[in-house]
Each structure stands twice: as structure tokens, then as C-alpha cells.
Structure 1
Amino acid sequence: MTTVCLTFDFDAVAIWLSTFKQTSPTPLSRGEYGANVGMPRLLDILKKRDVRATFFVPAHTASSFPDMVRRIVAEGHEVASHGYIHESPVGMAIDDERALLNRSIEILEKVAGERPLGYRSPAWDLSDNTIRLLEEAGLTYDSSLMSDDFQLFYARCNDKLSEEEFTPGETSSIVEFPVAWELDDYPYFQFSPRPLNTGLRLPSDVYKAWVSEFDYAHGMKGVFTLTCHPEIIGRGPRIQMLDQLIRYMQSLDGVRFKTMTQATAAFKNQQAV
């Protein structure tokens, strides 16, 4: 059985305020596009194909676009944590990181009506404390690391690195869904002068790349995790390409689409056998 986890980082305007630090009208309008144009198109496609997905949502997005977050849940999808205002945890003091994580979870629970069980770092990077803080907060999975491609694993804590050697730390209870730039729409499609990123690839080229990745995952009965952003994948030709990709995966035997919470439960049950 091959599992497909479609994931979407619903950053809205938070990424421009925090990560990119561009708050003039045009950058912010890209975030509005994601919320007001990209998200409805995306949800319509998922509804049409009867597919459930996982949406990683900064607390700032939930507060700014609560009706869209509630629509995500109403249509059977999962909402997971993506920081408070799309901030990086790297280098953050543990008390500050804990406070922001707990505050973001509380806001998501208030808006979405259910407590999130997963986390994805806005930086696709973690602090030395993040995994333990996720355990402390009662979360069950993360999707920020790259030490595998199509196999889930338990994230570690307290790795040790020196000029002499690397020593892996102890295993946590947090299930890790590995990510990859090859399976992210941002590097393929996004054009941004600051910082410079010159994507703008043809959707047909990206379709071929993602199908090749999926075929390999399917051959090993793995977990295929795709990361997209509503303001990027929501453009007309790209949303059509995503629909084509979903239809292709649905046409094959032994493929199931799951939210990450569903996939986490299946992984833990399998591990317990």
C-alpha cells in the first residue's frame, strides 16, 4: 500500500511579515491571493477528487482568515501548526519557542474547533529543543526533516556534532514525515527578487518530476509527501496540473490518500505489530 499525503502551507500574509519582511502592498497582496483565490481553487479540486489533505497554518493566518480555516475543517481536512507568524525556531530561546508554540496551538484550536496534532517548521529546520517541545505540547508528528524520502521514522533529540564525529541522539515519540525541495512547489514556480528565486517552470515539467518521484515511492510502497502553497499552486495552469497528478495517482492500484494524522496512526499501529 502506498500512502499519499498532500500538504499545503497556508501562509497567507504571515510569510511576508515574518520571513521575507516585505510589508508593502504588492507583496502582501500575494498572501491575499493565496487566501482568496488559491485556497478556494485548491479546496474545490480536493473536493472534486474526494481527497483529504493536511494544511499547515500559522496562527496569524487563522486569525486573519478564520472563515477559510473553518472551511478546511468543514470539508474534512486537517489543520496543523506552522508557527505563530511563520517564524523560524532556529536560535530561539527555549522559553520563547515554547510560548509561541503553545500560543499558536491555542489559536488554531479556537479558530478551527479542534486541537492540531502536527507541526511543520516554517523554516524546514528545527532548534535543538523543538522535538521535545512538540512532545511536551502533546503533538504526534512533525514534517520538517530530510533524512529519508518515502519512509516515516521517529525524530531524534540531542544529536551531537563535532569536528571529530556525529553521534545520533535518542529517539522521540514524534513521527517524522520527511520533506524535500524536489517535492515542493516553491523552488519550481516562485519568482522573488528578494531573496532571489527564479522559478517559473512550466507545469508540464513539474508534473513529470513529481510523477517520477511518485512512481519510485509507489514501487517501494512508501509515503509520498507533497508540499504546496496556495499562492503558488493556485495559479490556473498549476492547479490543473495538480488535478492531473491526483487523477494519475488515483488511477493506480494500492494507493490511498491520508491526512498526516491518519498516516501517523497507521505507522504507529504497524510499528506495534
Structure 2
Amino acid sequence: MSSKILLSFDIEEFEMPREYGDPIPFDLQMEVSIKGTTRILDLLAQHDIKATFYTTANFATHAKHIVKRIVDEGHELASHGYVHDHFEPPHLKMSKDVLEEIGQVTVHGYRMARMAPVPEEEVCKAGYIYNSSINPTYLPGRYNKLSEPRTYFKREGVWQLPASVTPIFRFPLFWISFHNLPLGIYTKLANRALKKDGYLNIYFHPWEFMDIGPKKKYNFPFYVTKNTDDKMVERFGKLIEWGKRKGYEFSRTWDFVKEFR
């Protein structure tokens, strides 16, 4: 069985500038996210691969045509909560219901905004089968998850699928690493995780595929804006081509979870 690359995208209203003091209006939030998601879908279609889209109910309600395209093109629709900047336990079931109504598919997976802690027993009660809300590494100012398992496990009745980190040192392989490392180094680290674990679970966002710099635009630090927009499209295409050359299989997360549940 070939090792699998699980590409996933957190599709949300682009409210991140508010973290850096920019009161971005909702219409612009949606515009950035819709255009970025469209670029992602075009790229995946070009390379004929499938991925998982963790989508907020708020985004889906205001961009039903994007949700329809995600589903129609064979990608997995999963939940990223009700809104991106606020969480309450009832949002788990509410977001699942909204996404299933709009997408006309069953939603199996959940990812908490910003990979924040989520009450896993509530995830189970809401009807999810898997949760991909753990980044099992240490990120100053964000989280310390070094005590969590590196690979999938079951807890509170839900399969937990952490984001991929390297063996031993647990270097995170998420979007910030992809932007800031030379691509050759990133793929070497990703290859270590694939060889050790048999899969790679990595995540990105629509705004990474858009023009979000320079710093004066949204006041983002350099490590957020580096290699975004057209550079991101180019680098991401090269990542896909690298995976294909290595013989790795690109898989939707739910298809992967079904193999071991």
C-alpha cells in the first residue's frame, strides 16, 4: 500500500487581519477567501487530485456556489466550526447541519479554528467520526502539544488525526513551515514523516494563495506573507508534482480514516 498525502484546507471568513489590528470588513473577508479557494480548486483540478476542505458554516452560507464546487469535484466537505472567531459547544452540531444541508453530503470530520482545544466528548455527541484539531508540537504563544501522540489514535469515541510533524524532534509540517523553508528541505522533512507514519496530514488556507503582503497591507509578519500569492500557487504545484514522482497517493481524509476505523 502506498503512503498517502492528506491535503486539507481550512476554509473560513478571512478575519485573521483582526488579530493584527486591521478591522477588515466582512465583504472583503469573503472576497479573499472565495478567490483563494477558487485558486486552490483550479490547482487541484489541474493535477487531478482530491483533498479535504474544513469549512465554516458562516463561509458556506455566504458562498454556497463554492461549497457546491467542492462537492461536485469530488473533494471532502468537513467542518471548521460555525464561525472562525468564536466557539461554543452547540456550534459543533450546528455547523455540521448547515454544511450537510448546503453540500447535500454527510460530514464526518471536524477541525477547530486555529487548532485550538475542543471538548472531544462534544465532538462525538455532535456526530463526527474524526477530529483533526491537534498539532502535536510546541509553538510559542499558540500551543504546547508535545504530550499528544504524533499519529492517529482514538479518544472519547472519536478518531484523532493530528497534523503531521517529523519523527523525534516533532518539527511541524504545516503551512508556516511550507512558506518559510526552502522547498527541498520541506520535502525532505515531509518524506521522513511519510516513511515513518505512512501518511502526511498537512493543512493550508485560501488566503495563502492571495496577495496578503507587504506588511502595510494587513500588518502581517514576514513569516506569514512569505511565498504567498502566485509564489504559493507555484510552490504548491511543485509539492504535488514531488508527491506524484515519489509514488505517494493523494487522499481525502475520510477515505484514509475509513481504512483503520
The reply to whether TM is greater than 0.5 is yes
1:252 maps to which residue? Answer: 246
Q: CA deviation at 1:137?
A: 1.8
Partner SS for 2:12: coil
Counterpart pick for 1:243 among 222, 225, 237: 237
Letter in 2 for 1:185: W
Q: CA deviation at 1:216?
A: 0.2
Q: CA deviation at 1:30?
A: 5.2
2:78 maps to which residue? Answer: 80
Q: Distance in 2 between matches of 1:15 and 1:114?
A: 29
Contact 1:185 1:233 in 2 (8 A): no
Q: Distance in 1 between matches of 2:243 and 2:194?
A: 9
Q: Distance in 1 between matches of 2:159 and 2:82?
A: 21
Q: Distance in 1 between matches of 2:22 and 2:38?
A: 25
1:24 aligns with 2:14: no
2:216 maps to which residue? Answer: none
Counterpart pick for 2:173 among 183, 205, 210: 183
Contact 1:14 1:58 in 2 (8 A): no
Contact 1:81 1:119 in 2 (8 A): yes
- Structure 1 stretches of 4+ with a deviation exceeding 6 A read none
1:140 aligns with 2:139: no
Letter in 2 for 1:152: Y
2:196 maps to which residue? Answer: 220
What's the TM-score once normalised by structure 2's chain length?
0.77
Contact 2:108 2:254 in 1 (8 A): yes
Partner SS for 1:182: coil
Partner SS for 1:41: helix
What's the TM-score once normalised by structure 1's chain length?
0.74
Counterpart pick for 2:92 among 101, 117, 129: 101
Aligned length: 224
Q: Tell me: CA distance 1:11–1:21, structure 2 relative to 1, closer, same or farther (3 Å).
A: farther
Report 1:42-191 matches (<5 A).
Answer: 42-87=40-85, 89=87, 96-97=88-89, 99-127=90-118, 130-145=119-134, 146=136, 147-149=148-150, 151-154=151-154, 156=155, 172-179=156-163, 182-186=172-176, 189=179
Partner SS for 1:62: helix
Q: Tell me: CA distance 1:267–1:220, structure 2 relative to 1, closer, same or farther (3 Å).
A: same
Give the number of the structure whose residues are more often strand, by fraction: 1
Unpaired runs of 5+ in structure 1? 90-95, 157-171, 190-200, 269-273
Q: Distance in 1 between matches of 2:124 and 2:53?
A: 20
Letter in 1 for 2:189: E
Q: Distance in 1 between matches of 2:21 and 2:94?
A: 22
Q: CA RMSD in A?
A: 2.4
